[in-house]
Homo-oligomer: A and B are copies of this chain.
């Protein structure tokens, strides 16, 4: 078993480009929205983790494959799951879907280090780790 979540985003005009599709870089912003939703689904606020637990999860790697375009005003579903949980690192995987279109529009993965506000590697709060790996 592994932590999963489903997020919804609607493509903004600002997120399109002159090719008439969503600019590819925007998917990484959506992935950010999606993993924070996953963490929220476990009962944690990433904002509180930063402010109260001195935990930060800077992105150490990011990748995506863009299989089919998405368009302005599309309502997209982002399916996220925990892909890896290390001592001081974590990775998430993502699939972007649009209702009525078979297969994913895009897939991706982000890797993160667990650090404190000084940038030093640290362990995850115990309760967060427990729920992530439940």
Contact = CB atoms under 8 A, between A and B. Distances in A.
Interface stretch (A62-70, A76-84, A87-95): A62-70
A69 B56 CA distance: 14
Interface string A47-76: 100000000101111111111010111000
User: Which applies to chain A's interface (DSSP): helix, strand, loop or mixed?
Assistant: mixed
Contact of A47 (B24, B46, B61, B73): B73
A23 B90 CA distance: 18
Given A25-B14, A29-B14, A32-B14, A69 B58 contact: yes
A12 interface: yes
B63 A63 contact: yes
B14 A23 contact: yes
Size bin of chain A's contact surface: 35 or more
A122 B56 CA distance: 31
A128 interface: no
Nearest to A107: B61
Given A12-B33, A17-B17, A17-B18, A65 B69 contact: no
Given A13-B36, A59-B66, 14 more contacts: A10-B33, A12-B32, A13-B32, A14-B23, A16-B17, A16-B18, A17-B17, A19-B58, A24-B28, A36-B73, A47-B73, A60-B66, A60-B67, A61-B66
